Structure 1
Amino acid sequence: MSTKLDQLSSWLKERKITEVECMISDLTGIARGKISPTNKFLDEKGMRLPESVLLQTVTGDYVEDDIYYDLLDEADIDMFCRPDENAAFLIPWALEPTAMVIHDTFDKQGNPIELSPRNILKNILKLYADKGWKPIVAPEMEFYLTKRCSDPDFPLEAPMGRSGRPEVGRQSFSIDAANEFDPLFEDVYDWCEIQGLDLDTLIHEDGPAQMEINFRHGEALHLADQITVFKRTMREASLKHDVAATFMAKPITDQPGSAMHIHQSVVDIKTGKNLFSNADGSMSQLFMNHIGGLQKYIPELLPLFAPNVNSFRRFLPDTSAPVNVEWGEENRTVGLRVPEATPQNRRVENRLAGADANPYLVLAASLLCGYMGMVEDLKPSAPVKGRAYERRNLRLPITIEHALERMEACKAAEKYLGEKFMRGYVAVKRAEHENYKRVISSWEREFLLLSV
């Protein structure tokens, strides 16, 4: 441990860092933590935070008292947060030399905190490692650029680009439309290079000023850290250029939603061979089992892929998002697409997760579903050829209430995720939904105010 901290200390001193943002991810994916002078950070070798931040909702509220005190110590004790020397990133937009260091969380006995999203992902990766397997993932992040607006009652609008005009119509894959925001994305790429993020391509998606950034394939924990850093980076660069970036799953009415597509495969740790392909290049039985696990368990764990009430608006009819767990080769209308690839690069693309999902939890959930398929020898359905949007088999839950009920009842996943995490996560999402239901929407005011 001391050697690792010495490495981190050298890294900070070489870059003349004066402040360190010490952070953990809560269940939503919000960065929680403390900002510390570098000297104090190195002296204390970590930080302490109340355990309760892991049961905090996106609105800042907490779960009901009976669940809260059942899952946490009544004294509201601290957890111990230790820096991960492999998760240190520069903050290029800060006025002073600043770094962000992601921490892992432990109780006072040194046990990993069960409610921690990063610990959940590490637990799932250990399941693979114990089998001699290593998952490889490549996330794709969709998001919208919008005009800055301080009033949440106003619908979001496309921002002005370099031409001085907002986008109209669909501009999918348009290079010129993406170039409207060149100065912004030049900063994004510069900042991400400084931070060591493995960005690949930039694509203009279907919606007005909707973009997609692809990450190069790699190790799941490192990429979850990178997504966490990237989302903060994208927001900061947007603010610098007087626009806003949102990763909401469905921010604009009648426009496509934003997804987090996850390409995933599994290799043998010793040989590096892709376990999804046989020696003759055909699809392996483990590949079929992996898809079978995704089909069976994604609907059971959907709140980890679609965590908010807004997430389920992506799954409405005619929204261009997949609405089931069908699979097929080179088919973007299914939830589980198998892209054309060489045997060594064979993978499945999970197209169901929203861009609003916590990166640690959604990668953990997607890999866990596939893992359970592999160890339970699950068989997938027949692959779909042609359009799959209207297929009624293998449908997803259509509301967050139904999805939370199914997750709560999924004992097979609880075995791996832990009872405490399952109860805590469901409780947080229910508390958020209760808060949502108290808000009167503009639709109700528009159509009911003077009509009923």
Structure 2
Amino acid sequence: MEKHPDIEAVEFLLVDPNGIIRGKWAPGDALKKAFQDGVNFPMSLHGLDVWGREVTETGLHIETGDKDGYCRATRGSLSIVPWAKRKTAQVLLQTFTPEGEPYMADPRQVLKKRVAEANAKGFFPVVAFELEFYLLDPEIDWDDGMPGPVGAVAGPDRLRMYGMDDLAEHAELFDMIRDAADEQSLPIDTIIKEAAPGQFEVNLKHRGDPLRAADDVIMLRRIVIGCARAHGLQATFMAKPFLEYAGNGMHVHASILGTDGKNIFAGPNGRKTLESAVAGLLLTMPESLLLFINTWNGFRRITPGSYAPTRAVWAENNRSVALRIPVSNDSNRRVEHRIAGADANPYLVMAALIQGMVEGIEGGLTPPPPVEGNAYDEDGLSLPDDMDDALQLAAKSSFVDRALGPLLAKVYRDLKRAEIMAFWSEITPLERSTYL
């Protein structure tokens, strides 16, 4: 604040269980209150569906009197908004009750608790996220008014995976993204042209703070969308915006340090510990899938041959599986979780990953043998292929209660049930064109 005394406005940002940023604009002098006392928001904000509507089944709305909580600024998240016309700052908030206790329907507060519990047991996760997204051109009318991906052409598509020309064509945009990330202390690593026209991937560096790593995902998505808009484009992290092209994933690389600061997956006993963590993740994967694939659209991404896994299986150096052990030296041994959609809530994804790995290690679990070759052709624990089946498993899951805590687990199920009912109540144009 001393560095930028001319701040005119501030954007207060809060992440709901759907992973959607909500909040409000305020004058710049409201920043001090956010750090000292907190900004008032209704706690029922965490009971809104993806369309921003109240879901009464959550029990967070008028039946409680729709109480306000205190939303305090998260230290380290205050930064300048580079695309704003006025001198504007932004800061990420987290929710507390009127009594000052962490509000456990807030996904960030839930992950904070999971991390603290893991640390108390001597487990210190080190994680990195990778996010895929599409750049869309509003001048391209792709389908029913939806913008098309940049670089899409008539005739055979130029997928141009790892293409350098595609990066160069949007160099000014990616420079702006890197500059904004530097300003906000987001550790961007590589930027890659991905497997479809207009599709790219941004990788973040590993962090020893899973909570901050999840914050990075929220802010990176905001940076990409804001910078794309500033360049006359639209960015989307929608899991499957185009049926004919690859979906957008959120891959998570995770290892765990012990109290000595060394990777517990390394050394003479490291392999067995890694396999126990993998076993914990595999065992809990079907019932927690709704945390990784959190939208109706996201289940369209999970198809054979798509590099999005359909079975709870693992392997070494194999991108067709749900859990991949990447090529690395002994000290960097880790697991890559490849299931989540790019639009998933990173706090919930991380909470489930930490809980699953810790339970697998503490239980000394043993995974099934790793698969060889194409995992889509292998036997293995099948994952739910639609949102309702995933909800049914999550509804019966004690693991989801342990990962999210009882309050957020209930709220999340209620929100997803309402989302499913909204899609079930819609008659599609295809149905009308077929049966009228």
TM-score (norm 1): 0.90
The match for 1:385 is: 372
The match for 1:59 is: 51
**Shift in Å at residue 335 of structure 1?**
0.7
* Kept in 1: contact 2:307–2:319 (CA 8 A): no
Once the two structures are superposed, residues 396-434 of structure 1 have per-residue CA deviations (whole angstroms, 9 ceiling, x without a partner) of: 111110111111111133134222111100110111121
Once the two structures are superposed, residues 335-394 of structure 1 have per-residue CA deviations (whole angstroms, 9 ceiling, x without a partner) of: 100011111111000001110101111122222221221222221110112110122411
Equivalent AA in structure 1 for residue 18 of structure 2: T
Identity over aligned pairs, percent: 34
* 2-structure distance, mates of 1:151, 1:47: 42
**Shift in Å at residue 70 of structure 1?**
7.0
Question: Where does the alignment leave 5 or more consecutive residues of structure 1 unmatched?
Answer: 1-11
Task: Work out whether 1:341 is the aligned partner of 2:333.
Answer: no
SS of structure 2 residue aligned to 1:148 = strand
**Shift in Å at residue 329 of structure 1?**
0.7
The match for 1:306 is: 293
The match for 2:393 is: 406
- Cα gap change, 1:187/1:415 in structure 2, threshold over 3 Å: closer, same or farther? closer
1:128 alignment partner, one of 98, 111, 118: 118
The match for 1:201 is: 190
* 2-structure distance, mates of 1:241, 1:442: 33
Once the two structures are superposed, residues 81-106 of structure 1 have per-residue CA deviations (whole angstroms, 9 ceiling, x without a partner) of: 11122222221111222221112211
* Kept in 1: contact 2:44–2:60 (CA 8 A): no
SS of structure 1 residue aligned to 2:312 = coil
1:291 alignment partner, one of 278, 283, 286: 278
Task: Work out whether 1:13 is the aligned partner of 2:2.
Answer: yes
* Kept in 1: contact 2:14–2:22 (CA 8 A): yes
The match for 2:12 is: 22
Q: What pairs with 1:323-342 in structure 2 (closer than 5 Å)?
A: 323-342=310-329
* 2-structure distance, mates of 1:387, 1:15: 54
* 1-structure distance, mates of 2:351, 2:78: 21
* Kept in 2: contact 1:184–1:241 (CA 8 A): yes
Equivalent AA in structure 1 for residue 282 of structure 2: Q
Task: Work out whether 1:214 is the aligned partner of 2:203.
Answer: yes
2:234 alignment partner, one of 241, 244, 260: 244
* Kept in 1: contact 2:188–2:205 (CA 8 A): yes
* 2-structure distance, mates of 1:188, 1:226: 13
Equivalent AA in structure 2 for residue 106 of structure 1: F
* Kept in 1: contact 2:72–2:95 (CA 8 A): yes
The match for 1:373 is: 360
* Kept in 2: contact 1:156–1:252 (CA 8 A): no
**Shift in Å at residue 15 of structure 1?**
1.8
- Cα gap change, 1:341/1:71 in structure 2, threshold over 3 Å: closer, same or farther? farther
* 1-structure distance, mates of 2:17, 2:155: 35
SS of structure 1 residue aligned to 2:75 = strand
Equivalent AA in structure 1 for residue 216 of structure 2: Q
**Shift in Å at residue 155 of structure 1?**
4.7
SS of structure 1 residue aligned to 2:86 = coil
* Kept in 2: contact 1:156–1:251 (CA 8 A): no
SS of structure 2 residue aligned to 1:85 = coil
The match for 1:174 is: 163
* Kept in 1: contact 2:314–2:321 (CA 8 A): yes
Equivalent AA in structure 2 for residue 154 of structure 1: G
* Kept in 1: contact 2:41–2:71 (CA 8 A): yes
Q: Greater shift after overlay, 245-254 or 405-414?
A: 405-414
Task: Work out whether 1:360 is the aligned partner of 2:347.
Answer: yes
Task: Work out whether 1:158 is the aligned partner of 2:158.
Answer: no
Q: Greater shift after overlay, 433-442 or 389-398?
A: 433-442
* 2-structure distance, mates of 1:39, 1:412: 44
Once the two structures are superposed, residues 245-281 of structure 1 have per-residue CA deviations (whole angstroms, 9 ceiling, x without a partner) of: 100110001211110000000001x421000122x4x
* 1-structure distance, mates of 2:62, 2:143: 34
**Shift in Å at residue 49 of structure 1?**
0.7
Equivalent AA in structure 2 for residue 352 of structure 1: I
Task: Work out whether 1:396 is the aligned partner of 2:383.
Answer: yes
The match for 1:75 is: 65
**Shift in Å at residue 328 of structure 1?**
0.7
Once the two structures are superposed, residues 138-191 of structure 1 have per-residue CA deviations (whole angstroms, 9 ceiling, x without a partner) of: 110001111227998335422259xx9999332111111222222211211122
* 1-structure distance, mates of 2:368, 2:58: 41
RMSD of equivalent CA atoms: 2.2
- Cα gap change, 1:442/1:267 in structure 2, threshold over 3 Å: closer, same or farther? same
* 2-structure distance, mates of 1:160, 1:306: 28
* Kept in 2: contact 1:160–1:166 (CA 8 A): no
Task: Work out whether 1:113 is the aligned partner of 2:100.
Answer: no
**Shift in Å at residue 115 of structure 1?**
0.7
- Cα gap change, 1:406/1:138 in structure 2, threshold over 3 Å: closer, same or farther? same
Equivalent AA in structure 2 for residue 159 of structure 1: V
Equivalent AA in structure 2 for residue 287 of structure 1: L
- Cα gap change, 1:57/1:344 in structure 2, threshold over 3 Å: closer, same or farther? same
Q: How many residue pairs were aligned?
A: 431
Q: Greater shift after overlay, 198-207 or 367-376?
A: 367-376
SS of structure 2 residue aligned to 1:14 = coil
* 1-structure distance, mates of 2:30, 2:60: 34
Question: Where does the alignment leave 5 or more consecutive residues of structure 2 unmatched?
Answer: none
- Cα gap change, 1:319/1:441 in structure 2, threshold over 3 Å: closer, same or farther? farther
**Shift in Å at residue 298 of structure 1?**
1.6
1:33 alignment partner, one of 23, 36, 58: 23
TM-score (norm 2): 0.93
* 2-structure distance, mates of 1:72, 1:275: 48
* Kept in 1: contact 2:351–2:403 (CA 8 A): no
